[in-house]
Amino acid sequence: MYLLLKELGLIDDMPQRNKVVTTEKKLSATFLASGRLDAEYYQPKYDYLDSQLAQLPTQRLGELVEVRKSIEPGSEAYQTEGIPFVRVSDLNKFGLETPSVCLDRTTYATAPRPQKDTILLSKDGSVGIAYKLDTDTDMITSGAILHLSVKEKEVLPDYLTLVLNSPIVKMQAERDAGGSIIQHWKPSEIEQVIIPILPPDMQQKLSEQVSKSFELRREAGVLLSEAKGMVERAIEPTA
């Protein structure tokens, strides 16, 4: 993440976004332009982010990906066996937790399954969590998780996932969803998210580092599991 912000020229300034300052805006530059009246939407940190992004090559997320919605069967459809049903609570930027509920295979046989290189993006509750799948899956996600499929060759899936998890997009999600009591990021707003586009060689470098970090994380998990097993065996009472 540090390298991404550094390459975009934002690393020295992003911490300033949390400073408490005041601002004044005319009605023509607020409600008449955006339809929003909540003061949080017009904080100076968002103006600063917009000004910085305006200096970089960018594209709207909707131009880069195809957005697919999943289903929301309702809690009455939950069961203990069947197709794993992934909810936002099972999703984080490092991977997926084993879902605690499943759906009936026959009833939901045609429900969409996310495939390899699909980016899962949460739009409700904990909004803006992104994770890219490395393999095809036999699972169903809740309607609170969108499926993003990269359609433009100029952006790599791993790079895009890194940007989606960065403060650059987190701030845009915070601005869009901040006016709600229960956070909800509209798909129409998500498609308008501004994505900075780095040169292909730098995208590749960042993607390789992301892949390496995930591999190291998996190796660390295996080692931790092995160490835990050794300790448990060592303290087991002998017969």
In SS3 terms, the chain reads as CHHHHHHCCCCCCHHHHHCCCCCCCCHHHCHHHHCCCCHHHHCHHHHHHHHHHCCCCEEEHHHHEEEECCECCCHHHCECCCEEEECHHHEECCEECCCCCEECCCCCCCCCCCCCCCEEEECECCCCCEEECCCCCCCEEECCEEEEEECCCCCCHHHHHHHHCCHHHHHHHHHHHCCCCCCECCHHHHCCCEEECCCHHHHHHHHHHHHHHHHHHHHHHHHHHHHHHHHHHHHCCCC
Least trusted range by pLDDT, from 43-47, 68-72, 95-99: 43-47
- Residue 37, pLDDT score: 45
Give the per-residue pLDDT at 108.
Answer: 95
Report which of residues 235 and 56 the model is more confident about: 56
Mean pLDDT of the chain, nearest integer: 83
Asked which of 37-51, 77-91, 150-164 is least confident by mean pLDDT, the reply is 37-51
Per-residue pLDDT averaged across 212-224, rounded?
70
What residues contact residue 42 under an 8 Å CB cut-off, 6+ apart?
23, 25, 30, 36
* Closest by Cα among 205, 207, 194 to 57: 194
What pLDDT, on a 0 to 100 scale, did the predictor assign at position 89?
94
Q: What is the pLDDT averaged over residues 110-127?
A: 93
Q: What's the pLDDT at 33? A: 47
Biggest CA–CA distance in the chain, Å, is 80
Token pair belonging to 152: 């433009």
State the pLDDT at residue 214.
66
Could you tell me what percent of the chain has a pLDDT over 70? 80
Per mean pLDDT, which range of 36-40, 81-85, 94-98, 196-200 is the poorest? 36-40
Q: Is the pLDDT of residue 141 over 50?
A: yes
Q: Which of 37-46, 52-61, 174-183, 225-234 has the highest mean pLDDT?
A: 52-61
The pLDDT value recorded for residue 9 is 80
In order of 11, 22, 121, 137, the CA distances from 153 in angstroms are 27, 42, 20, 23
Given a cut of 70, whether residue 181 has pLDDT beyond it is no
Quick one: angle between helices 44-53 and 167-177, nearest 10?
130
| Res. 144: pLDDT tops 50 | yes
